[in-house]
Structure 1
Amino acid sequence: MDTRQLRYFTAVCEFRNLSHAADHCNTAASALSLHIARLEEELDTKLFTRKPRGMDPTAAGLKLLEHAKYILAAFETAASDVRLGHAEIAGNIAIGMPYSVINVIGAGLMRTVMEDLPKVRLLIREGLSGMTYTALRTGEVEAALIFNPAPDGQTQRVPLIEEELFCIGRREIIGDPSQPIRLEDMAALPLALLQSGSLSRALVDRPAELARLEANARIQLASIAGTLNAMKAGLACTLAPKVLVSDELRTGELVARPVIDPTPIRTLYLVSAADERPTFLRERISALICDLVQQAVQEGRWEGARLSG
């Protein structure tokens, strides 16, 4: 028994005539007759009394009609609820992301929400990956963009991009930007490194090399603004993506030098709590973020990044 059979059945009950019911259902009378016969066979009872000029429901048919009307009404209510819920997206949502990501997709995300989702209130919470991960686990944000999150069973994550990190600073600090620098040689430079909190830095997948850099870093900051100030003042360089200082690279105030042996790569994930019930709003915002990230990479606005997978 399925909803199509029930619709055909209720139509025959209403019109008391196979041909008229078939016209109403936009199907052939023979097909309608076959469905009714199969329904009677499945229920092992006669649902109609066949007459020369029509069909009358039996007592069993009238009992089934009561159930069929309820089932079909419930089905339509469910379908309508899903369609309307998907079309009418509303509510508040908080998304966590690092400054460098906001720098690339933040304006596009805000513009789309303002123009296309008038009943949505968006909170973008800026933070380093470790802080953002903590905010996700405590429920302060519903989804987050996080670099290299630690493995766990409490979150679900979708990889979006892989991003190369560069030695960035003033030319007189880091040298010729056209010449690669070995990661271990960066330890000899004046360094200001970002401190990312509970994830103990989500910059690279090579903790040993990172540890050597951290051991030689004279300055550690939990502030993007502080790191930028240190570089612009010629006090230090840092290990970061180009998008963090895209404006400064264009003006020549700062330069970026490729890093080798190894080349530091970090992966950006869209992360959400595994035990959270999905909502239309979160699904819509998550899909929008994925589209904006993909578009930025394809258009060359996310230099040093490539799409995952």
Structure 2
Amino acid sequence: MTLTELRYIVAVARERHFGRAAEACFVSQPTLSVAVKKLEEELDLKIFERGSTEVSVTPLGEAIVRQAQAVIEQASSIKEIAKRGKDPLAGPLKLGVIYTIGPYLLPELVKHAIELFPQMPLMLHENFTVKLLEMLRTGELDAAIMAEPFPDAGLAIAPLYDEPFVVAVPASHPMARRSSVSTTELKQETMLLLGTGHCFRDHVLEVCPEFARFSSDAEGIRKSFEGSSLETIKHMVASGMGITVVPQLSVPSGPNQTPDPHLRHIPFSDPVPSRRVVLAWRRTFTRYEAIAALRNAVYAGDLKGVNRLTA
């Protein structure tokens, strides 16, 4: 039994497909299949049930995969402990970020990371919250920047900042001249939302539950469109297709950021809806100084309009 074989069965269990698992492990499918079969023969049991379209994990296989994940993590910790003895910031840090945070936080974060700890390059991965949680659990990521709430996965969490939401409207919209707007005033508008899977969509629906009704009557949103990214939706808003709700950091404010002349951002009136952005990592992750350095790099940025949570 080898660590490589354990990594293979973890990948197959995650992907539910030998071909995709092989791609994720950067090996050929025959190589991976032979290794998995060899391990099953050594253990004298089936870890996977092979179907025509999908692979499923047997009940005993589930327990074996969980233990394999723990073994892989512990093996990685040995290397981390050795590096930490020399320099806790030595070596790359694998960082995940959700889609609605990455484009607005990462440019400054990466710049300050290079300035503060050049010996610890950030290996970045953007994805949905549920995928980042899975990658944290399996050790494919060291840490992730996400927005609460998310399922409790036994992670260590450090709050970074509370980020208010704002309303984005076309420059020609009657609301464009307003100093603030309430959530109830959005009921009669054509609302553009992120597609299913984005946690920010869920945050917006919690703030304005009428959006979830997709109602065509006078009590709800007249029409709803879905987009794949906030920037795509903002372009749709600028073209006059409707309005949307966005996080504060997505609003251009820096000297090198040019606001869209066809778009206006209006603050919410009290109570202002917001989301809490946090840094999460496995409790067994040993590079505590790396986590602290990452938080410092986040706080070195402008973070205009958000409430920093440094405690």
Q: TM-score, normalization: structure 1? A: 0.59
Matches within 5 A, 1:136-215: 136-173=136-173, 175-195=175-195, 197=197, 201=201, 203=203, 207=206, 209-215=207-213
**CA deviation digits over 1:197-230, x for unaligned, max 9?**
28584526x83x4331233351123423422332
Over aligned residues, Cα RMSD in angstroms? 3.3
8 Å contact kept, 2:94–2:140: yes
Paired AA for residue 271 in structure 1: A
Report the AA paired with residue 308 of structure 2.
Answer: L
Aligned to 1:221: 227
Aligned to 2:293, the other structure's residue is in SS state helix
AA of the residue aligned to 1:304: G
State which of 278, 281, 294 in structure 1 corresponds to 2:285.
278
Q: Report the structure number with the largest CA radius of gyration.
A: 1
Q: TM-score, normalised by structure 2?
A: 0.58
More helix by proportion, 1 or 2? Answer: 1
Distance across 1 between alignment mates of 2:260 and 2:266: 16
| Ranges in structure 2 where 5+ consecutive residues have no aligned partner | 1-80, 214-220
Q: Distance in 1 between matches of 2:154 and 2:199?
A: 15
User: Which digits, 9 at most, give the CA deviation of each residue in 1:275-302, with x for residues without a partner?
Assistant: xx2233xx34422331133233xxxx32
Which deviates more, 174-183 or 130-139? 130-139
User: 1:168–1:174: 8 Å Cα contact kept in structure 2?
Assistant: no
Contact kept in structure 2, 1:130 and 1:202, CA below 8 Å:
no
Check conservation: 1:242, 1:256, Cα contact below 8 A: no
CA shift at 1:116, angstroms?
5.8
SS state at 2:268 partner: strand
CA distance in 2, matches of 1:224, 1:104: 11
Selected match of 1:230 from 209, 223, 236: 236
User: Do the aligned partners of 1:149 and 1:202 also contact (CA within 8 Å) in 2?
Assistant: no
Shift of 1:118: 5.2
Q: For the residues of structure 2 that align with 1:169 and 1:86, how far apart are their CA atoms?
A: 53
- Measured in 1, the distance between the counterparts of 2:103 and 2:250 equals 7
Q: Distance in 2 between matches of 1:184 and 1:219?
A: 19
Q: Does 1:253 align with 2:259?
A: no
The alpha-carbon deviation at position 154 of structure 1 amounts to 1.9
Show the 5 A alignment for 1:93-112: 93-99=93-99, 101-112=101-112
Identity of counterpart residues, as a percentage? Answer: 20
Give the number of equivalent residue pairs. 219
Verify the 8 A CA contact 1:142 1:273 in the aligned structure 2.
Answer: yes
Point out the more displaced range, 128-137 or 211-220.
128-137
> Gaps (5+ residues) in structure 1?
1-80
1:103–1:243 CA contact under 8 A, matched in 2 = no
